Structure 1
Amino acid sequence: MMKKTISRSRAVFFGLVTSLVFSLPAQAGVQIEQWQTAQGTRVYFVAAPSLPILDVQIDFAAGSMFDPQGKAGVAALTRSALDLGAGQRDETAIAETLADLGAVLGGGVDTDRASLSLRTLADVRTREAALAVLREVVAQPHFAEDIVEREKMRTVASLKDALTRPDSIAGKAFWAAMYPQHPYGQQASPESVARITREDLLAFHTRLYNATNASITLVGPLSRGESEKIAQSLSAALPAGLPPALPPPPIAPAGQEVALAHPASQAHIYLGLPAIERGHPDFFALQVGNYTLGGGGFVSSLVKEVRDKRGFAYSVYSYFAPLRQVGPFQIGLQTQKKQAGAAIKVVREVLENFLKTGPSAEELAAAKANLSGSFPLRLDSNAKLLANVAAIGFYGLPLDYLDTYRARIEAVTAEEVKAAFARHVRVADLITVTVAAQ
């Protein structure tokens, strides 16, 4: 059985420190220092001297958009297998070493990127031991044949289970319809994962987990010199290489309706279209406007019209999800099958009305007050700060992005909201996916 014990004194201390992280006051400003290693890895560092914890994240442009044709799922399998044996350690040794150090290895994979994160106590002895594990995991994974087969079986089982759930079925169909000719629409399936081999994982890792395709983010009680030394050691462990070429930008398909059968008691409905990429100047106007449309919970127009006035759904929402290339605008809800058509009609009417009128003066003020006022909560722990700075680094956003966020929100006008929505949201081009009993 895998050993899970940690020395009591270290476990208690680390637990106390971690609890303090989540009680920190919001920071007035975030000073991000940026440089490149000798190998070309971009580095982003924030000195956080208040707590003896170091947070590190390494991001690669190695998300599912880079899956080989016909083998969707390679990116996710590659990332999941990294810490299941690497360097001189098998998966048990990796887990035991981290547990003994009181360190935590995390991360994940999405459409754009694969990430590895490390949280460790910042004293030199502990952090060096934890960083040694991170270096091995990111640069020297085993991808042992038996481990790969085991993870494939788990993934196939999970995908088969997802195919029984209406929300998952709707989500896959929605992305496939929005991105029919783009990798964002390529979905892992039991069949595609079954075709993946150990050699596919090795090739994917060799191609994309390289120094120039990486960005490193550090948050903790370090000097600039210490952070440079850590970043250089991580970068030097990676092979040389190049960032991958991006595919042509997505071309928005014509509006369409997709209806899929499922015996669920509720109809699951998604509406949307490809809308905006990360860093687009219209983001702040869209963010403010969406709060009024469907992002503001009970005060949003969609909730008032769909839920409160008509009782069609318990929950209805909208949001923008900008990606490296054009990401989606999405509206989602669940309702009784017999009401699905009427609910969709109301949603479209609310959206059309918002596109014509935009937010009222009162709605605009409320949206800006909420988005600006709640923003410090996104920076009230080292972990949240790490995630935000890592996104800035990966997507190439301005270094003052966090410092200027509230001012840019507060500067948005109703006219800018209307103009931005008109540029990015077209009712005639909406993709509508409904999963319900036929």
Structure 2
Amino acid sequence: MRYLIAIVLSFVLVVNAYGFQIQKGRLTNGLRYVIARTTDVPIVSMTVMVRAGSVFDEKGKYGEAKVLATTLENCDTAHLKSKKLRFLFDKYGIISSVSVSKGYITISAVCLKENMDKMFYLVGEILKSRFDKKNFSIVKRQVIDRLKMLKNDKDYLAIHAAFEGLIAQSEYSHTSIGTLDGLKSITRGDVKGFFKKYFSSGNMVVALAGGLSDTDQLKIKLEKTFSSVKNTSGLKRFKDVSFRSGLNITNIVKPATKQSYIYFAFPSFDYPSKKYYASLILANILGGKLNSFLTKDIRTKHGYAYSIFAFNYRLPKRSVFVIGLQTQNRFTLDAIKRVFEDIGNFDGYITKKNITAAKEYLVGSMLIGLQTPQSISSRLAFGEMNGLGDEPWVFDKRMIRSITIADVRDAAKSIFGGSLSIGVVSFRDFKNEIRELANRYGYR
């Protein structure tokens, strides 16, 4: 059944991004919903977004959101044993996941239209988790094991070091999976309390997309599926993020490693401001594709890196502008120097031609991303959660189109003229030499 869904999805290539029939409303318990009728292809996707990400983990209990999300698909529910729950997801070809970001827990499910009622039922069941003792213990151990595995991932260690060096609050700087001490301390009671606090109607959004028809019947199904969700008003508030001032460098030594993993992290702007979209264009110009400025100079011209990239990582509040690269150990300092040289060369990369190309790339890739019901329901849930008003793809396109060369230049000056955190994993400690280089380019 899963293979059949994969085959059908591969043909969902004719979605008109501006021709969706969209209906919004609230259930009797206050939960907001969005329904998008997209195509006649018999696929239906559901996205349930809850403002309950890892920034809401209690201090000393970092990992609560991750453990909760993992238990939802792996514990007994009000009417089903965990084994039966997983069996039914597979039997009806329902592809599902429960993911965690810093801001949100997201439940996603997609199935053939003929199995939509089964999908509604099973999503409703995981929202009635019993967090039974046996399966909770298994889930907790699995999450701890996953974190221990990440501790051997040098790329993960480098970017995490860069984020910890930049962000002052531990609730923002710790990874969404949590910390080892935090995970060990989490109890079933903690997870039950977390669920009760955050899984409420005012703090959730549900979006449906696909080959849907009778919206009145869909609302009835939604009422039944989410009847267990308690009625509350208002979203939980994100705390403002605080960035450390000045220059911070963390160098983790792994003597056996054959290459260096390097990340630069700079404070960036809040979503959905105009400056945020200017930073997206800046990231695309510098390291968002194969012919980007940093790629052509550092990788192609000088041969100092296997890969180099740039992106703007959105936090619940503000964002972080990231430049990452991997290089041979002997090129570590050369590569870092070239990054400093290149990001300061505004006239070399902030050009009308580059900005036009970046806009076309970002708008085009955004619309290409709207070719499946899953991506549409996900984007609609996010847009509704953030009160955009317009459909997210309409809002994004308008904002991207509005950015000028002056906007990108101002964004670059602000981002590269402030604080900087560098995370490095390499075979030896380069910290002092990196600091000398950074000082030379004005970072203190």
Equivalence for 1:147 = 135
Q: 231-240 vs 324-333, which deviates more?
A: 231-240
Query: Letter of the aligned partner of 2:132 in structure 1?
Result: A
| Alignment of 1:300 onto 2:288 | no
| Alignment of 1:319 onto 2:311 | yes
1:129 to 118, 123, 126: 118
Q: Tell whether the 8 Å contact from 1:104 to 1:119 is kept in structure 2 after alignment.
A: yes
Measure how far apart 1:25 and its partner are. Answer: 4.6
CA distance in 2, matches of 1:331, 1:15: 34
| Alignment of 1:95 onto 2:95 | no
Measure how far apart 1:283 and its partner are. Answer: 2.6
Q: 311-320 vs 40-49, which deviates more?
A: 40-49
Measure how far apart 1:252 and its partner are. Answer: 4.3
Cα pair distance change 1:282/1:248, threshold 3 Å? closer
Measure how far apart 1:86 and its partner are. Answer: 1.0
Q: Tell whether the 8 Å contact from 1:59 to 1:216 is kept in structure 2 after alignment.
A: yes
Structure 1: runs of 5+ lacking an equivalent? 1-5
Q: Tell whether the 8 Å contact from 1:358 to 1:414 is kept in structure 2 after alignment.
A: no
Q: Tell whether the 8 Å contact from 2:266 to 2:418 is kept in structure 1 after alignment.
A: no
| Alignment of 1:83 onto 2:73 | yes
1:117 to 91, 108, 111: 108
Query: Letter of the aligned partner of 1:93 in structure 2?
Result: K
Equivalence for 1:380 = 371
Equivalence for 1:277 = 270
Q: Tell whether the 8 Å contact from 1:27 to 1:379 is kept in structure 2 after alignment.
A: yes
Mapping of residues 212-291 of structure 1, within 5 Å = 212-220=202-210, 221-241=212-232, 243-263=235-255, 264-291=257-284
Equivalence for 1:334 = 326
Q: Please, what TM-score do these two structures have when normalized by structure 2? A: 0.88
Query: Letter of the aligned partner of 2:183 in structure 1?
Result: V
Measure how far apart 1:131 and its partner are. Answer: 1.0
CA distance in 2, matches of 1:432, 1:154: 31
Q: Tell whether the 8 Å contact from 1:54 to 1:122 is kept in structure 2 after alignment.
A: yes
* SS state at 1:32 partner: strand
Measure how far apart 1:316 and its partner are. Answer: 0.5
Q: Tell whether the 8 Å contact from 1:348 to 1:427 is kept in structure 2 after alignment.
A: no
Q: Tell whether the 8 Å contact from 2:293 to 2:349 is kept in structure 1 after alignment.
A: no
Equivalence for 1:167 = 155
Query: Letter of the aligned partner of 1:266 in structure 2?
Result: Q
Q: 317-326 vs 100-109, which deviates more?
A: 100-109
Q: Tell whether the 8 Å contact from 1:252 to 1:273 is kept in structure 2 after alignment.
A: no
Equivalence for 1:157 = 145
Measure how far apart 1:428 and its partner are. Answer: 4.3
1:194-213 Cα deviation digits (max 9, x unpaired): 11111111111111111111
For this pair of structures, how many residues does the alignment match? 422
Cα pair distance change 1:186/1:411, threshold 3 Å? closer
Measure how far apart 1:51 and its partner are. Answer: 1.7
Equivalence for 2:201 = 211
CA distance in 1, matches of 2:198, 2:427: 43
Cα pair distance change 1:415/1:79, threshold 3 Å? same
Question: How many percent of aligned residue pairs carry the same amino acid?
Answer: 22
Measure how far apart 1:81 and its partner are. Answer: 0.5
CA distance in 2, matches of 1:142, 1:36: 27
Q: Tell whether the 8 Å contact from 2:30 to 2:231 is kept in structure 1 after alignment.
A: no
Q: Tell whether the 8 Å contact from 1:259 to 1:435 is kept in structure 2 after alignment.
A: yes
Cα pair distance change 1:304/1:35, threshold 3 Å? same
Q: Tell whether the 8 Å contact from 2:162 to 2:249 is kept in structure 1 after alignment.
A: no
Query: Letter of the aligned partner of 1:302 in structure 2?
Result: L
1:201-232 Cα deviation digits (max 9, x unpaired): 11111111111111010113133323322333
* SS state at 2:73 partner: coil
CA distance in 2, matches of 1:401, 1:127: 25
Measure how far apart 1:433 and its partner are. Answer: 1.0
CA distance in 2, matches of 1:32, 1:432: 44
Cα pair distance change 1:253/1:91, threshold 3 Å? farther
Cα pair distance change 1:179/1:415, threshold 3 Å? same
* SS state at 2:280 partner: helix
* SS state at 2:30 partner: coil
Equivalence for 1:64 = 54
Q: Tell whether the 8 Å contact from 2:64 to 2:191 is kept in structure 1 after alignment.
A: yes
CA distance in 2, matches of 1:251, 1:285: 20
CA distance in 2, matches of 1:437, 1:419: 37
Equivalence for 1:195 = 185
Q: Tell whether the 8 Å contact from 1:24 to 1:381 is kept in structure 2 after alignment.
A: no
CA distance in 1, matches of 2:282, 2:249: 25
Q: 280-289 vs 90-99, which deviates more?
A: 280-289
Cα pair distance change 1:179/1:255, threshold 3 Å? same
CA distance in 2, matches of 1:161, 1:16: 33
* SS state at 1:341 partner: helix
Query: Letter of the aligned partner of 2:407 in structure 1?
Result: E
Measure how far apart 1:68 and its partner are. Answer: 0.9
* SS state at 2:11 partner: helix
Cα pair distance change 1:103/1:219, threshold 3 Å? same
CA distance in 1, matches of 2:214, 2:412: 44
1:85-119 Cα deviation digits (max 9, x unpaired): 21110111112222232322223111110011222
CA distance in 2, matches of 1:360, 1:115: 38
Structure 2: runs of 5+ lacking an equivalent? 429-444
Cα pair distance change 1:316/1:407, threshold 3 Å? same
RMSD of the alignment, in Å?
Answer: 2.2
Measure how far apart 1:179 and its partner are. Answer: 1.5
Equivalence for 1:3 = none
* SS state at 2:344 partner: helix
